[in-house]
Amino acid sequence: MNTRVLFWLGLLVSGCESLAPTPRREAFQPGRSTPPGIALLFKSALDSGRIADALTLLGTPEGVPLPAAERYELLPELERLQNLLAGLPITALRIDTLAPGSAAVWLEVDYLHTLHFLLHRRDSLWLIIALERLPWRRPAVPVFPPPE
């Protein structure tokens, strides 16, 4: 009888080992110091209606922040993007380091839309130098810089 109880107790304990919680990966925090952070910061600015803050994250390919006139011209395009994506959950995030000072980030929103960011580092901060929206099963739509 004792061996049978010990057998079942041992089986129960060994089975519970597989159910033990695994350590969670650290979540990315929105911020300007990392490529995924700036993509999340851009999305959170769109979610909260702060389009002017989202515009300050954009820059030229040389890594210089956009002049005010160019930011003003992009305002309707970002408002359109906000109407499409505001409030939708982020379902995937993928990062690719292209060079020591540049990176690409794909931010999937609600399984249907993907934002593709090209980022450039200036000093210790990152700027978005190109942004395009990849709708599901459709060709890419450039958002920034505007198509010529």
Q: How far is residue 60's CA from residue 45's CA, in Å, rounded to a whole number?
A: 20
Upstream peptide bond of 145 is cis (omega within 30 degrees of 0): yes
In the prediction, which pLDDT does 123 show?
86
In the prediction, which pLDDT does 46 show?
92
What percent of the chain clears pLDDT 90, i.e. is strictly above it? 53
Q: How far is residue 35's CA from residue 104's CA, in Å, rounded to a whole number?
A: 8
Written as six digits, the tokens of 134 are 């990849």
In the prediction, which pLDDT does 148 show?
55
What are the residue boundaries of the structural domains of the chain, listed by start? 47-148
In the prediction, which pLDDT does 59 show?
92
**Which stretch of 31-35, 45-49, 63-67, 89-93 has the lowest confidence by average pLDDT?**
31-35
For the entire predicted model, the pTM comes to: 0.77
Are the CB atoms for 106 and 98 separated by under 8 Å? no
pLDDT in tens, 26-36: 677 777 889 99
pLDDT in tens, 60-76: 888 889 999 999 999 99
In the prediction, which pLDDT does 11 show?
66
